[in-house]
Amino acid sequence: MSLFWIVIRQLAEIEAMATSKKVITREEWEKKLNDVKIRKEDMNKLVMNFLVTEGYVEAAEKFRMESGTEPDIDLATITDRMAVKKAVQCGNVEDAIEKVNDLNPEILDTNPQLFFHLQQQRLIELIRNGKVEEALEFAQEELAPRGEENQTFLEELERTVALLAFEDVSNCPVGDLLDISQRLKTASEVNAAILTSQSHEKDPKLPSLLKMLIWAQNQLDEKAAYPRINNLSTAALEDPAV
């Protein structure tokens, strides 16, 4: 948060100084940046937050030992969460459901949308594996009652069952359901629900900070020419085009 406000304050200063577009040289810019103080502990916490949220449990453990940064969550729970996520990503949805229920039975009992999406993913996997009979039976027995309860679910169910109607599923209008991205989508939904149940944010903070950086730069572009960061992975300052 603090980094964001520093940028904002600088923006305000610049706005006060210049009415027309001002040019700031790399030298001036770097001097300004040097005046900004970032605490090391804050950086470490951001890194830890990223590792924990993304589920890099071993890296988090190592990082904890090396940097002395305490994670805000029991690292053991990350392992469980990652196992669930991985199971969905591999298409073992039933296994994932069992694991979530072991972790906390309230999650799926109080989150009908997530429960439906997991069941839908199960159906998709059955269809993918060519188990037509079983897929039909599963759709009728497990999914149809959910569709009766909720209009949106019914539409999604119809879309999914439509997969059975096509000979060449890879080339049909609902083929995207068989895509790996569908698994990833479901996996990230489960991941988010587990994190929420653990009172943890479902997104890491680092990407938000970078988003704010880009937004602030865009705002600044209207007022000044300055060394901009265009490549986020190198974070290199690029000379202003004058």
Torsion of CA 209, 212, 216, 221, to 10 degrees: 100
Residues 13, 42, 98, 238: which binds other proteins (CB under 8 A)?
98
Map residues 34-73 to x or -, x wherever contact with other proteins holds by CB under 8 A: ----------------------------------------
Say how far apart CA 119 and CA 126 lie, in whole Å: 11
24: Cα separation from own chain's centroid: 36
Query: In angstroms, what is the minimal distance from the CB of 25 to other proteins?
Result: 40
DSSP-derived secondary structure letter, 67: H
Minimum CB distance to other proteins, residue 140 (Å): 6
> Near other proteins by CB under 8 A, which window of 2-10, 49-57, 96-104, 122-130?
96-104
Nearer to other proteins, 98 or 238 (CB): 98
**What are the structure tokens assigned to 89, written together?**
């990503």
- Determine the angle formed by the axes of helices 151-161 and 112-128, rounding to 10 degrees: 10
Q: Which stretch binds other proteins (CB under 8 A): 22-30, 98-106, 161-169, 171-179?
A: 98-106
Closer to other proteins by Cβ: residue 150 or 219: 150
CA 55 to chain centre: 11
Interaction of residue 158 with other proteins, rule CB under 8 A: no
Q: Residues 23, 112, 218, 230: which binds other proteins (CB under 8 A)?
A: 112
CA distances from 137 to 133, 161, 231 (A): 6, 11, 51
Rounded CA gap, 113 and 98, in Å? 17
Do 84 and 191 touch, CB atoms closer than 8 A? yes
List 115, 160, 191, 224, residue binding other proteins (CB under 8 A): 115
Assign 3-state DSSP to the chain and report helix, strand, coil percentages, each to 5. Answer: 70, 5, 25
Residue 176 CB contacts under 8 Å (≥ 6 apart), including other chains: 182
Residues 184-203 that bind other proteins (CB under 8 A): 196-199, 201
Q: In this structure, which amino acid lies at residue 206?
A: L
- Of residues 7 and 100, the one with the C-beta less far from other proteins: 100
Going residue by residue from 116 to 155, which x/- string records binding to other proteins, judged by CB under 8 A? ---------------------x--xxx--x---xxxx---
- In this structure, the number of other CB atoms found within 10 A of the CB of residue 184 comes to 13
Rounded to a whole number of angstroms, the minimum distance from the CB of residue 47 to other proteins is 21
Site size for other proteins, by CB under 8 A?
A: 27
Q: Which residues bind other proteins (CB under 8 A)?
A: 97-98, 101, 104-106, 108-113, 115, 137, 140-142, 145, 149-152, 196-199, 201
